Amino acid sequence: MPAAILLTAATALGAVMWSSGAGDAPIIPVKLVQSYPHDPSSFVQGLIVHNGQLMEGTGHYGESRLRTVDLETGRPIVDRALNGNEFGEGICVWDNTILQLTWKAGYIILWDAKTMKRTGYVRLSDIDRRLKQGWGITHDGTHLIISDGSADLRFVDPKTFRMVRRLRIRDGSRSVSNLNELEFVNGQVFANIWYKDLIAQIDPKTGRVKGWLDLRPLRPAAVRGQREAVLNGIAYDKQKKRLFVTGKNWPLLHEIRF
């Protein structure tokens, strides 16, 4: 169901009031380009576009999946179940390998991007002994970038899986914690913030938040008031220059501009 709206100045002003203070990044209004159906049972933890195909990783023990999804219908095309003791988190693709984080299991699951069959795993402790949980993952073309729910992002060599650097994320003088699902978009790291319908635009060199995309008006009515149904899922289609967002158990996936 196509739509095109520009968030009102009043909405943006209200958001700026939330983020007031010296040095705080500005709130950026967005346009809704189009909405697509999305499986409301999908507890979205990772979202990407790979070779023009939408892919999704989901969470919950006994329910976690890795899927390719038909954009127009929201239905899975290929659907792989994780083991019952694995809580799926963020996903990305590097060199024809899908990397899917697990929340507390302590490793990254590796899948063949063509066959979507499991090929192995990487221990989080081998990356950084202090890395206990997996939340979000993306890459900048050179390094994997991993979040663990803290205010730090880890940049990781994708060949050796050794950490290259750790970057603290700040908005002005404040550290920004609960960094969740990640996507690399036009030279910036986009990050969901757990329990906020806002996306941080992060400078990957300095860790500074350059702006906040306000998605609060796009939260579907069906999940308003549901605490766990947070915004989570950012996918950038480089070929067609389209940006998609959705949330945990959201019945809609949105294409947006800003």
Q: Is pLDDT above 60 for 19?
A: no
pLDDT in tens, 111-130: 999 999 999 999 999 999 99
Three-class HEC string of 82-136:
CCCCCCEEEEEEECCEEEEEECCCCEEEEEECCCCCEEEEEEHHHHCCCCCCCCE
Cα separation, 187 vs 189, in Å, equals 7
Q: Quick check: 75 and 253 in contact, CB under 8 A?
A: no
Could you tell me which residues come within 8 angstroms of residue 168 by beta carbon, excluding any fewer than 6 positions away? Answer: 151, 152, 175, 207
Q: Give the single-character DSSP code of 222.
A: G
pLDDT in tens, 185-211: 999 999 999 999 999 999 999 999 999
Cα separation, 179 vs 168, in Å, equals 11
pLDDT band at 16 (very low <50, low <70, confident <90, very high): very low
Give domain limits for the chain.
Answer: 2-257
Residue count of the chain: 258
Sign of CA dihedral 124, 128, 133, 136: negative
pLDDT of residue 35: 97
Q: What's the maximum distance between 2 C-alpha atoms anywhere in the chain? A: 50
pLDDT in tens, 168-185: 999 999 999 999 999 999
Cα separation, 239 vs 171, in Å, equals 31
Within 10 A of 177 (CB to CB), how many other CB atoms are there?
Answer: 12
pLDDT of residue 18: 40
Beta strands 27-28; 209-214: pairing state: parallel
pLDDT in tens, 211-232: 999 999 999 999 988 999 999 9
pLDDT (mean) for 22-39: 89
Cα separation, 199 vs 216, in Å, equals 10
CATH topology of domain 2-257: Neuraminidase (2.120.10)
pLDDT of residue 8: 35
Residues linked to residue 245 through DSSP beta bridges, in sequence order:
234, 254
33-49: b or e for each residue (b if 16 or more CB lie within 10 Å)?
bebbbbbbebbbbbbbb
Within 10 A of 135 (CB to CB), how many other CB atoms are there?
Answer: 24
Percent of the chain with pLDDT over 90: 90
